[in-house]
Chain A
Amino acid sequence: MIRVAHEAGAGALELETDVCIVGTGAGGAAAGRALAKAGAKVLFLEEGRAFKPEQFVPKPSVAYRNLYQERNTRVMEGKSFIPLPGGRGVGGSTLVNSGICFRIPERVRARWASYGLDWAAPGEIDDIYADIEQALSIRKTDPSQARGNNLIFRKGAIALGLQGDFISRNAPGCVGCGICQLGCPIGGKASMDLTFIPEAMDAGADVYTGCRVESVEQERGRCTGVAGTVLGPDDAPAGRFHVKAARTVIAGSAVGTPMLLWKSGICNRSGQVGKNLHVHPGTGTMAFFEQEIRLWDGVTQGFYVDFQDEGIVFETFSATPEAYYVIARRSVGTDLKKMNRMASCGAMIADRSSGTVRPAGDGRAEILYSLGSEDKERLINSLRWICKVYAAAGAVELSSGVAGLPTARTLDEALRQLTSDVPLGALTVYASHPQGTCRMGTDPDESVVRPDGRTHDVEGLYVADGSLFPEALGVNPQITIMALATWIGRRIAKQG
């Protein structure tokens, strides 16, 4: 069952379990589900709270206040500032993502398998993917729910002969509200809080919310549990907790996991903890049409075009109006109704740049990352392609959010604007899916975690989240994280 820590124990909370799982996002929930179903006594610790769909209201400020890390003000610092959102609460980022599900691309899978990562090789992982796809009712977006914003991009993509399709999502009850990022208000998305966590609880697992894990405890090189602060309803410290566990799995994301290892002063013999940060940098174009698009009506992200050889994916998206207004203010002017004739699509790339996560003076994560010129070039090329797609679909104005550039009235004008000369600081870039900061590998001098999920340095301590990836995956990672975490969970269960 789910317990609120500050209500469960006054002052100091002492708990004991077989397996303690830190984090309830895609990685933690999947590992915990596998372990609980195998008969282990599982205890989840979550810093955020547990929510019910009926608590969600379609207001960005409410979502940012309750469902996002650092109230959605988290940025990567470098040559420019790049937002890096992350979810917070039971379900982690699956609470606020669009439910996009891609298996690992074959090209990436072959390369990772060649690094000695057995899980990526064909075999058991394929069965795990199939199990997850069934458990989360993953299916392709129905055109009737895709509606204006997705269908207009599809029209342009087909006109240009591009490889694309409707996106497969874990949203069996979706009715196309277009506000996935604010928390699904009807429970239509199969996020972890509604699927794997309840499954694990049915198998006997417990969840404690409001637990900020601050240290991993060990004795003679073996992990013995974790300790941290119990948070009150306002996130203020309300006590301490301590969990004694035979095994501990950290699944706090590629930001939270290295931070915990840093703070605990462990697992960094290789010097790789927090390094090798990869993300999927993204940018996007807004196109205005003569007819109404009503991009807020329909699936948030319903159609994609794939350039897998380049590690680039275009995905349509809808967001709340302020996100567009900030970028296209000069084009919109004072006629806000014009935004109803707008469509938008983003480009996401598997980065070749990398960054670092480390603790800042105030205890938060300092995320250092600078986008390299090669990645900048790929983003600009992506914008050029998206402009071509929208022009083929009949757009009358194109705005790619490049500072200082006017809205383009023709495709030629847009392409003339989007050259290599555009400075990085002028681009509107955001990032998602942090990965790689505790990478998996066979060499203890070059990696933090062994290919089976155990850390190289501390026995009984495992990692099961996106921080394990050796490089950027190139597609939305949630079901690959779930598959890898399930694979690791099964191995822990086999070890007894």
Chain B
Amino acid sequence: MSPNEPAGTLPARMDPPSAEPELVPGRSPPRFGRRTFFQGSLWAAATTASGALLYRACFGSGSPAPGMLSLTEAEYLTAASAADAFFPKESFEVSAAEADVPRYVDRYVHEMPPAKTKLMKLLLRSLEYSPAMTIQSLTRFSRLPLADRQAVLRAWEDSHLLVQRMGHRALLLVCSSGYFECDAVLEKMGWGIGCNLPPRVPGETLP
């Protein structure tokens, strides 16, 4: 646009943009300065680091806790707290801890196909940090009192998000599977799996 043309009007004709920027002798072409480069690098590094941290938080695999096959100490605590909230000593004749449910969850997670192990661990980690979103508490799930843990699990169960309801269902299924494998539980409830089977030979049954 020429400086003589009134402002706010469009030029009658625009020259087509040249394919190459025209170099003016004695002047460098426009380029990123050191400062811009430094700022960009800093942003890239920060973004990569946050992404890596987020990925690690969601999918990272820490070392299993002592005596565990797959769950880290934090994951084990979450699993044990959830199992206790499903089958608390206060309400059931045999508690989740007495039925050894947390160890069952650990073995179950360990034996799942790798992709599903990651999802199960992600589920436990999500549950651990979910009180803020569900019962507006900044305390982690495993540190909450029983009633609050049950409230968090109820919020997952009744969530309008399918993925959250499925997560609750998956966790309940794994914990229940462990709970009802306990002979003491079945005996107390009078459930007779397997009728009168011939005695099994120790060491010859499936692991």
Note all chain B residues with C-beta closer than 8 A to A179: 193-194
Q: Which of A32-90 contact B (CB under 8 A)?
A: 51, 54-62, 65-66, 70-71, 73, 80-81
A70 to B119, CA, bound (A): 15
A55 to B195, CA, bound (A): 16
Most buried by B among A61, A175, A179, A362: A61
Check B194–A58 contact: CB distance below 8 A: yes
Note all chain A residues with C-beta closer than 8 A to B190: 337, 340
A430 to B25, CA, bound (A): 75
Q: Which of B162-194 contact A (CB under 8 A)?
A: 162, 165-166, 169, 172-173, 176-181, 185-186, 188-194
Check B173–A326 contact: CB distance below 8 A: yes
* Least distance between B32 CB and chain A CB atoms (Å): 37
A59 to B104, CA, bound (A): 12
Check A73–B116 contact: CB distance below 8 A: yes
Given contacts A56-B206, A321-B186, contact A61 B194 (CB under 8 A): no
* Residue from the list B113, B189, B195 in contact with A71, Cβ < 8 A: B113
A54 to B91, CA, bound (A): 37
* Least distance between B116 CB and chain A CB atoms (Å): 5
Note all chain A residues with C-beta closer than 8 A to B194: 58, 177, 179, 185
Check A56–B173 contact: CB distance below 8 A: no
Check B195–A61 contact: CB distance below 8 A: no
Given contacts A70-B113, A71-B111, A364-B113, contact A186 B198 (CB under 8 A): yes
* Least distance between A329 CB and chain B CB atoms (Å): 7
B207 within 8 A of A: yes
For B107, give the chain A residue with the smallest CB separation.
Answer: A61
A396 within 8 A of B: no
Check A54–B204 contact: CB distance below 8 A: yes
B158 within 8 A of A: yes
Residue total for A at the interface (Cβ-Cβ under 8 A): 44
Interface string of A312-339 (1 = CB under 8 A from B): 0000000011100110010000101101
A296 within 8 A of B: yes
Most buried by A among B108, B180, B188, B204: B180
* Residue from the list A60, A65, A177 in contact with B207, Cβ < 8 A: A65
Given contacts A321-B186, A336-B92, A404-B158, contact A57 B192 (CB under 8 A): no
Give 14 A-B pairs besides A54-B205, A55-B205, A337-B190 with Cβ atoms closer than 8 angstroms: A55-B206, A58-B194, A60-B177, A61-B108, A66-B207, A70-B116, A175-B195, A179-B193, A296-B191, A296-B193, A325-B176, A336-B188, A340-B191, A403-B165
Note all chain B residues with C-beta closer than 8 A to A336: 92, 185, 188-189, 191
B residues sitting closer than 8 Å to A (CB atoms) are 91-92, 104, 107-108, 111-116, 157-158, 162, 165-166, 169, 172-173, 176-181, 185-186, 188-195, 197-198, 200-201, 204-207
A125 to B192, CA, bound (A): 41
Check A364–B115 contact: CB distance below 8 A: yes
Main secondary structure of the interface of A (DSSP, over half): loop
17 contacts between A and B (CB under 8 A): A58-B197, A60-B177, A70-B113, A71-B111, A71-B112, A71-B113, A81-B166, A177-B194, A177-B197, A178-B195, A294-B192, A296-B191, A297-B192, A320-B180, A325-B180, A336-B189, A339-B191
Check A58–B207 contact: CB distance below 8 A: no
Given contacts A54-B201, A61-B108, A329-B172, contact A176 B195 (CB under 8 A): yes
* Least distance between A428 CB and chain B CB atoms (Å): 9
Check B206–A57 contact: CB distance below 8 A: yes
Note all chain A residues with C-beta closer than 8 A to B181: 59-61
What are the 4 tightest A-B residue pairs by CB atom distance, in nearest-first order? A58-B194, A322-B176, A336-B189, A334-B91
A425 within 8 A of B: yes
* Least distance between A131 CB and chain B CB atoms (Å): 32
* Least distance between A419 CB and chain B CB atoms (Å): 19
Check B207–A322 contact: CB distance below 8 A: no
Check A326–B189 contact: CB distance below 8 A: no
Check A185–B188 contact: CB distance below 8 A: no
A367 to B112, CA, bound (A): 17
* Least distance between A20 CB and chain B CB atoms (Å): 27
Note all chain A residues with C-beta closer than 8 A to B92: 334, 336
